[in-house]
Structure 1
Amino acid sequence: MRRRTYLAAATAAAMAGCTDGDDSGATGATTDDDPPPLEGPDADGTIDDFADFGAWSVLAGRASLVDDEASVGDRSVLLAADGDDEAARIVRELPEPVDFSGVSPGLAVATAETATPIVQLFDGDGNAIEFRATVHGGTDLRRCNFGVTGVESEANLREITEIHVAVVAAGDAERELRLDDLHLVSRPDDGLVTLQFDGGDESIHGEALPVLEEYGFSATAFVPTDLIRASPDHDGDRMTESQLEELADAGWTIGSYTANGRLLPELGPDEQAAQLADAREWLEEAGYGDGARFVSYPAGRYDDDALELVGETYDLGFAAGQPVQGRVVDPVRYPRVVDPDAAEELLERTADLGGITGLCYHGLEGDAIDRFEETMAFLDALVAEGDLEVVGPDAIASEYAAETG
């Protein structure tokens, strides 16, 4: 993760840039002058709108300036990497160390295909903390939340001297990423955890509920409302209406997984609207009005139409992403970690850094049951020590979706 690794790997070809506008900016050309300080943050948390791209250097791949296509300012930046580059990377050196403790950086991002943009903050000794986001293709340029995916133990977040932004190529294929609006988002001082289950599988009631009751935790069950069974006699492996009632009586939130859990990008806008509206109506009529405010995207997939419709129908939408999140910057796609492999590590990171981590599971069976029980025991110990708190989506919506920066 150290900058000297990237510098050693960068070649003259990799550092070549191209531009759709001002040639001096996109190449990241440097001068003998000291680099300019960061602006802001302004009222919206923005610290760099890429108006002066001369403050950045291109270490790998290519960078282009795109005029008249921006979320803030007048232009955005297009990063491109192919199989030869492996990654596109730009870096901004800071003339004086900057305090990034308690905040997460973010970007407005657009991409044609699913991509994972990366922001890394380096201190003067080359130690880094890494932030990532998961962004699905076919969406307009818009802010997204970045979570903490790695941190070196010696990293000094109060003395950050470099900011790196990167995107990794997908095998031999070229990867392009358009970005704008480098901004800061505050993280809650305390570590918060939200527990979620997607899809309505019957094992959520049979396996997850007893474990969470043992520790006094509640969770959110996102269910495909058309597939909920009226009674155990009906075919299928989804929960029954009475099982949902038991979850609700235990303090769970019952939310939407759309009407039948179909992938929204595979549907037209009218079908998407029906899937989202019908599920909310069912939940409200069944007495789950509190959970009817929240939706989880089936398989985490969305497109621009789905994002717009979710914004019109729900208070919060949840998608796949990373742990240790800051406040909500895009309420239609707040990240959580789906079927986590190393949940204990993520919980420890959340306890150390603060922020919000969502753990989302599907059905529990086989070894997954034992792993879930181990994770909940670990979470219970951290809660007992006062290092973490378990919250529901209502707390995220009411307390952490109103402000950024």
Structure 2
Amino acid sequence: MAYLEFKFEDQITKYIREQELDTSLKFITLRKDKHFGQKDAQPLAQKKLSWESKSLPFNGVPFQVVGTKTYECHQGKDRQTKAKEKYAAERDKKELEDHAFLQRRKLVQNTKKVDCKAIINIAHVIRFPDFKIEESTVRSKKEASQTLKAALSETPSSVKAEVVYCVRFPSLSEHSSHAVVGEEAYVREAVDARLREKIEQLTLSGVRKMTEMKCHLNTFVVEELFCGEQPPPPTRRRYYPTDSDIRNVMFKTKQATRDPNIERPDEGPSRRGKKRSSRKVLQLRKQCAGYLKEITDLTYHLQDEQCMTDLSSRLKSVLLDMKANVPQDTGLPLTFSPRKRKAEKAMDPLPTKSASHPFTGGVEQHTEDIVSVDTLLALTLG
């Protein structure tokens, strides 16, 4: 492990990023106090004084903590186990109730988390070097604390204070259950942030084909990220993402540009909300049609006259409400009706009047012609 000090928060972010590039690791934010990084932080007489913490070992100088921030390895503890179990239970329940078999991906392992214990501790502190003590004893700490608090209460401007960020970085040996260097570590690498930005830019500019996107990314890595240097090997997933990584970034970028609350002058308002509403309307329409069909089937079994009268009155009221809400053009009746499925067409009743056969019709017409000719001959001879 290593204990370092930084003057600004940006320096910490840069250092962490350099460590990630060198070791093929990735750290994500675990927690952060709301006062961490506060620029106008001032020492307070009533605030607690500390002599050591997780990110700052004892060095004899008292300090006050403004805020803390913690990073953890991206292959650390899985903190979404309950949510995943709940989702799996709801999915299985839905398959049993609706008889709908959802497509599932075949995963070798269901998560990348391996409960790695590596953590980066950062403390934003205000320290007071003029009140440094030599020995870590209870008496010396108590006397120095009382003197410092009295000075902060009487003349706070006379107290020398330094604002620093103290960071504790884990060693490579603290990473457990996963590789940290080599090709095995490259498999779990996250895509570089600069590469993600490039994919977003190319997607917004109209690039859609995977081959074209990869060609642009390879050129970007060789000519811009590592200009004049030896480019990394193709096994580095950070700089040579997989097709799945690229598709995910492209999909999220396209989804972000389809926000219904954003209006673009070249495309106008997004229709994503309209598509969602139309799907809901179709679902409700099918549901209403099912209710109407069931009512129609049950009507033929009703025998109670009073029940039929009440039903007729209520259906008439529903019909009037529907006519008031259905858009109609003046003088043009509604002609829409749902198309029948093949099974319904096969169940249609056969026509009662059979169509005349072409040959039969011709023979009957020919017979009538012969009779008329005979009659004419008889009248002529007679």
TM-score range for the pair, normalised by the shorter chain length = under 0.3
TM-score computed with the length of structure 1 as normaliser: 0.17
Q: TM-score, normalised by structure 2?
A: 0.18
The structure with the largest strand share of the pair is 1
Between structure 1 and structure 2, the one with the greater Rg is: 2
Q: Which has the higher helix share?
A: 2
